[in-house]
Amino acid sequence: MKKIILMVFFCFSLSVISAADAGQKQHDETKVPQQVFDGFRQDLFGKEILDYVKESYKDNSMAVTIQDGVELSEDRKGGGFIVKFTVTPHSKRSKMSGTDTITFRVNPFILATDKKESAITFLNLHHHDPTKQSR
């Protein structure tokens, strides 16, 4: 009898451990790698980034390369989030150097309403010229 109870207890223990491992494995598989999430945000904002870079430089031949990594923070003043991208601008008309930081405010609450306004608001574009050194 002791052997049967011991075997039942042993089998039950193994099944609990296996279920816990499976639950943890499933949780780990649902995590999105940072690189994939950054790519998702870059694709989501790609058109807005290009439009505002063209508008800022007053040059329709502009193109941009979006750098890896996206800065995301909470917007405590206006609600929503602040999203910053670092881009390298390219132009067919003029020689460009340096990078730009382009900043957007995203208000996800607008997406949940029937309003026709955009959930993405352009805040600013700051150019970083590597040839100018701060002193």
- What are the angstrom distances between the C-alpha of 121 and each of 26, 39, 114, 129? 36, 20, 17, 25
For the cut 50, the answer to whether the pLDDT of residue 9 exceeds it is no
> Could you tell me which residue, 22 or 56, shows the higher pLDDT?
56
pLDDT band for position 94 (50/70/90)? confident
The whole-model pTM stands at: 0.66
For the cut 90, the answer to whether the pLDDT of residue 101 exceeds it is yes
> What confidence score (pLDDT) does residue 7 get?
52
For the cut 50, the answer to whether the pLDDT of residue 12 exceeds it is no
